[in-house]
């Protein structure tokens, strides 16, 4: 298997899962600044021209959440739970994409990506709007995690990785994590995992 990644928030969770389940995965870093995501070779793997992407034999998979599912299933890991809990994972995937990570990701873009890629200063209106939504959805996440170690209860799943993928960047992205103590504790727990702490290690 070959996992194409960039050192960015969507690759973070996929590299973490690959490390966590300890499959024989080769990691291939794409240099987004050099446009390596838009070469004909890579577009044949992911026509969207985005990282991450996974090649497993003659199968190619793009979209970070699908990649996490594939890796966990291939490894027979309970990161991908059985039965009805799969519904819960899909719920958190959707919620992250449409709500929490959408707006936290906007803060990540405004404060980190713009600077890194020479795209000018953060747009104050976009920042204000995103911050409002992060506070709104962060409160929902905090409330959910007050009585649970992980999103689905006692067991770590890829739902945790999907929702948390922007939090390693919280400080630089000005995500107000300290306003959400249960979220902060949950993320500290994830940070105890070497795979989550250093998904991009060489």
Ligand X SMILES: N[C@@H](CCC(=O)N[C@@H](CS)C(=O)NCC(=O)O)C(=O)O
Q: Name the site residues for ligand X (rule: CB under 6 A).
A: 6, 8-10, 32, 37, 49-52, 63-64
- Closest to ligand X by CB, 35 vs 181, is 35
- Closest to ligand X by CB, 51 vs 181, is 51
- Closest to ligand X by CB, 2 vs 148, is 2
Find residue 2's DSSP bridge partners.
Answer: 26, 55
What does the alpha-carbon distance between residue 157 and residue 100 come to, in Å, rounded to a whole number?
18
Minimum distance between the CB of residue 147 and ligand X, rounded to whole angstroms? 29
The answer to whether the beta carbons of residues 5 and 27 sit under 8 Å apart is yes
Minimum distance between the CB of residue 33 and ligand X, rounded to whole angstroms? 10
What does the alpha-carbon distance between residue 26 and residue 54 come to, in Å, rounded to a whole number?
10
Find residue 56's DSSP bridge partners.
Answer: 59
DSSP letter for 110, please.
I
- Closest to ligand X by CB, 112 vs 134, is 112
Find residue 28's DSSP bridge partners.
Answer: 4
What does the alpha-carbon distance between residue 109 and residue 114 come to, in Å, rounded to a whole number?
6
- Closest to ligand X by CB, 165 vs 174, is 165
What does the alpha-carbon distance between residue 159 and residue 127 come to, in Å, rounded to a whole number?
26
Query: What are the φ/ψ torsions at residue 148 (nearest 5 degrees)?
Result: -140, 150
Minimum distance between the CB of residue 6 and ligand X, rounded to whole angstroms? 5
What does the alpha-carbon distance between residue 64 and residue 15 come to, in Å, rounded to a whole number?
10
- Closest to ligand X by CB, 26 vs 38, is 38
Minimum distance between the CB of residue 83 and ligand X, rounded to whole angstroms? 25
Minimum distance between the CB of residue 8 and ligand X, rounded to whole angstroms? 4
Using DSSP, how many helices (H) and how many strands (E) does the chain show? Answer: 10, 4
Minimum distance between the CB of residue 182 and ligand X, rounded to whole angstroms? 25
């Amino acid at each position: 298997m070959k996992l194409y990644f960039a050192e960015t928030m969507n690759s973070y969770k996929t590299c973490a899962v690959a490390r966590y389940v300890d499959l024989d995965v080769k990691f291939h870093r794409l240099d987004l600044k050099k446009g390596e995501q838009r070469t004909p070779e890579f577009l044949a793997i992911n026509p969207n021209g985005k990282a991450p992407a996974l090649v497993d034999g003659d199968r190619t998979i793009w979209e970070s959440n699908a990649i996490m599912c594939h890796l966990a299933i291939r490894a027979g890991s309970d990161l991908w739970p059985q039965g009805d809990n799969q519904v819960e994972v899909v719920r958190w995937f959707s919620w992250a994409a449409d709500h929490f990570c959408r707006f936290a990701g906007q803060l990540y873009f405004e404060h980190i990506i713009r600077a890194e890629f020479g795209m000018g200063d953060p747009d104050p209106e976009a920042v204000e709007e995103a911050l409002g939504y992060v506070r709104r959805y962060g409160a929902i996440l905090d409330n959910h995690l007050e009585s649970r170690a992980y999103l689905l209860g006692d067991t770590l799943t890829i739902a945790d990785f999907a929702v948390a993928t922007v939090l390693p960047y919280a400080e630089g992205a000005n995500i107000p994590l300290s306003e959400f103590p249960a979220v902060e504790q949950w993320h500290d727990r994830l940070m105890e995992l070497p795979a989550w702490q250093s998904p991009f290690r060489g």
